Amino acid sequence: MSTTECGTDLKLAKAQAPVLAGLARDGVVQAAVFPRIKSAWRAIRNRIAAYPLSELDDHMLDDIGLSRRDVVIALDRSGALDDPSLLLARAARERARTRFARPPAR
């Protein structure tokens, strides 16, 4: 599931669209503020999408290359406006790289 498939996101995006459209009219505001709003919105949306991962069992998390510890750390260490998906992706990449690595020859 991608973060854009969440129904909550669609409802919130429709509610915020007129506000963001009004901000986009002013060139200065668009250049300075709009990227920050967009970034914060993406982080909040990804945080909402990451919370259901904590409800998955250990086998399901293992299938996607994560552990329960990875999910807890990502949600705890990232602030309200920080994107936990960055930490989750990094943990999954690290686990994939070391998961089937052969032990060093003796």
pLDDT in tens, 37-95: 888 888 888 888 888 998 999 999 998 889 999 999 998 887 777 888 888 999 999 98
pLDDT at 4: 47
Those residues whose C-beta lies under 8 Å from the C-beta of residue 84, and which sit 6 or more positions away, are: 46, 47, 50, 74, 75, 78
> How crowded is residue 73: how many other Cβ atoms within 10 Å of its Cβ?
15
| Rg, Å, the chain Cα set | 18
With bands split at pLDDT 50, 70 and 90, how would you rate the model's confidence at 23?
Answer: low
